[in-house]
Every structure is written in structure tokens, then in C-alpha cells.
Amino acid sequence: MSEIDREAIFIALADPSRRLILTRLQARNGQTLSQLGEGLPITRQAVSKHLKILETANLLFSEKSGRERLHFLNPVPLRAVAIRWLERFDETPMGLLAQREKGGKRSG
């Protein structure tokens, strides 16, 4: 996965409406634009733009079904980015954090 692909995923996840759309697809895959937009405080056109950003980031795909377009979650790139990004912090020393949690104070 390229740096551009990773950046597209982080940009897609930065917006709460897009995260809600992904959550809705995770709960029930194969929804239409209207279904995904139900109850959101944004216009149908805004939902469509959010879907395009999510699709560009490869976090969802859509397919035509009769007169409707159904949208499906693609969790693979999200998981790959999350794991790679979080692994960067595996080597971070936790001593200072653990000390602060126990009530210790930083000197200086």
C-alpha cells in the first residue's frame, strides 16, 4: 500500500459523517445512498460526495442493482492501515506513561 493510499484512508476517516457511513455499512452491508443518508444532518449531495471519498480510499465499493446503487464496506485496507500505523508505537517506552498513571509527576 502506497503512502498516497494510506493518506486517502486517513483523510476519509477524518470526517464524522464518513465514519458514521462506514459504521452503518458495517452493521448492514449493501445500502443505498438514501438509506445511508437517513437521519444525517447533511444533504443527499453531501452524502454522495462522502461516498465518493470513501470509494476513492477503497473503503467501500458499490454496484448497480436494478435502478439502485448498493454500497458495501471494504474493511481490508482499513485494517491494514490501522495495524501498520499502530505497530509504529509498539516500541515506544511506556515507563513515563505508567508513572503518570500511578500519580507520579514529571520532573523539570
Can you read off the three cell numbers belonging to residue 99? 508513572
| pLDDT tens-digit series, residues 43-76 | 999 999 999 999 999 999 999 999 999 999 999 9
Q: Which domain holds residue 58?
A: 3-87
pLDDT at 95: 67
Written as nine digits, the cell of 78 is 482499513
Domain-located, residue 26 = yes
How many domains does one find in the chain? Answer: 1
Q: How far is CA 82 from CA 9, 26, 44, 46, in A?
A: 10, 16, 29, 26
For residue 102, what pLDDT band results from cuts at 50, 70 and 90? Answer: confident
Residue 71's pLDDT is 98
Examine residue 102 and state whether it is found in any structural domain, yes or no. Answer: no
Q: Is residue 61 part of a domain?
A: yes
Sign of the C-alpha dihedral computed for residues 8, 56, 81 and 46 taken in this order? positive
- Report the length, in residues, of the chain: 108
> What CATH number should be reported for the domain holding residue 66?
1.10.10.10
| Closest listed residue to residue 60, CA positions, set 16, 13, 15, 14 | 13
Q: Is residue 94 domain-resident? A: no
CA-CA-CA-CA torsion sign (83, 88, 94, 100): negative
- Dihedral sign from CA coordinates of 19, 81, 77, 11: positive
DSSP single-letter state for residue 88: T
Nearest to 12 by CA among 25, 22, 24: 22
